[in-house]
């Protein structure tokens, strides 16, 4: 059985809108060109973009909210990345709470734990995750979780704190199938990045096949993790179309139906109005 995903979708006249549920438009590599990238995404069919601040200082969150406020189909997620958890304290969370008053802020995050890089101490990452879960709960917003080599402990903390009533997503999922089962049981959506297009990602593709339609999301995580066949170039939201095509192929799904499902999953989680399917 051929396990490798097909390359780019060849259906150039696609009319079903796609969504990039996680990218970083305020990243220094993307921000100057954000408006161009948003237009380029639209041209590729990626009509909704969820942009995450979180990396670095709160200025990244401010910039992310500003970009979202200036573009109809761009939404913002704000928080403190696990890499920066050492700088997550009460004043920072209060500032995030203030910023979350913008109607374009649709979730809190990305929070979580990264025990691969360990750029912040494990203890700070745990504490930061707890603070984010509580803030999401308070604000009735979903939470976006980054989890690398920390699936068991993250699931444990969520179990202790409770998943926010508005739900959440495990972004750029890279865990095992049992990890996915655990997060599904907790009520999360599972989001896959361009990693599913990488040659050596057979196990992850296997896991992506078993995620129920109603819990599936796709993302770029731009500027990171450029999907094949564009690996080596900086990633951008337009390339969500490549990851989407790979996902439809590996699930043997009808692209139009799957696109509609993923858009409605994202719209339900982040509570935005999905764009009409037939608009060009």
Binding site for Zn ion (CB under 5 A): 110, 146, 221
Residue 166 or residue 172: which is nearer to Zn ion going by CB?
A: 172
User: Cβ(8)–Cβ(239) under 8 Å?
Assistant: no
Residue 4 or residue 176: which is nearer to Zn ion going by CB?
A: 176
Looking at residue 231, the DSSP 8-state letter turns out to be B
Query: What's the rounded Cα separation, in Å, for the pair 168 and 107?
Result: 8
Helical H segments across the chain, by residue range: 34-43, 58-70, 90-99, 122-139, 151-161, 177-186, 202-210, 240-251, 255-270
Residue 42 or residue 114: which is nearer to Zn ion going by CB?
A: 114
CB of 252 to Zn ion, least distance (A): 28
Q: Which residues pair with 213 in a beta bridge?
A: none
CB of 277 to Zn ion, least distance (A): 27
Measured at CB, which residue is nearest to Zn ion? Answer: 146
Residue 63 or residue 221: which is nearer to Zn ion going by CB?
A: 221
CB of 254 to Zn ion, least distance (A): 29
118: left (phi over 0), alpha (psi -120 to 50) or beta: left
Residue 30 or residue 249: which is nearer to Zn ion going by CB?
A: 30
CB of 52 to Zn ion, least distance (A): 5
CB of 1 to Zn ion, least distance (A): 31
Angle at 31 between CA 29 and CA 36, to 5 degrees: 105
């Amino acid at each position: 059985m051929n396990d490798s995903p097909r390359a780019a979708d060849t259906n150039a006249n696609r009319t079903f809108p796609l969504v990039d549920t996680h990218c970083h438009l305020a990243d220094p590599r993307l921000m100057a060109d954000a408006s161009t990238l948003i237009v380029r995404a639209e041209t590729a069919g990626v009509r909704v973009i969820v942009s995450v601040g979180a990396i670095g200082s709160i200025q990244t969150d401010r910039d992310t909210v500003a970009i979202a406020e200036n573009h109809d189909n761009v939404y913002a997620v704000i928080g403190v990345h696990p890499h920066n958890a050492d700088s997550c304290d009460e004043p920072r969370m209060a500032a995030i709470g203030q910023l979350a008053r913008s109607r374009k802020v649709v979730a809190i995050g990305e929070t979580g734990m990264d025990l691969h890089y360990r750029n912040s101490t494990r203890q700070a990452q745990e504490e930061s995750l707890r603070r984010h879960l509580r803030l999401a709960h308070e604000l009735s917003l979903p939470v976006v979780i980054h989890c690398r080599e920390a699936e068991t402990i993250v699931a444990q903390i969520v179990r202790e704190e409770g998943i926010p009533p508005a739900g959440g997503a495990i972004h750029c999922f890279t865990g095992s199938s049992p990890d996915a089962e655990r997060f599904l049981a907790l009520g999360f959506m599972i989001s896959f990045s361009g990693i599913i297009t990488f040659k050596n990602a057979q196990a992850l593709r296997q896991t992506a096949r078993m995620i129920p339609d109603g819990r599936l999301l796709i993302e770029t995580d731009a500027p990171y993790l450029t999907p094949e066949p564009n690996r080596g170039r900086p990633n951008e939201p337009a390339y969500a179309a490549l990851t989407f095509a790979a996902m439809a192929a590996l699930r043997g799904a009808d692209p139009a139906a799957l696109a509609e499902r993923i858009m409605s999953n994202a719209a339900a989680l982040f509570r935005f109005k999905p764009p009409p399917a037939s608009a060009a």
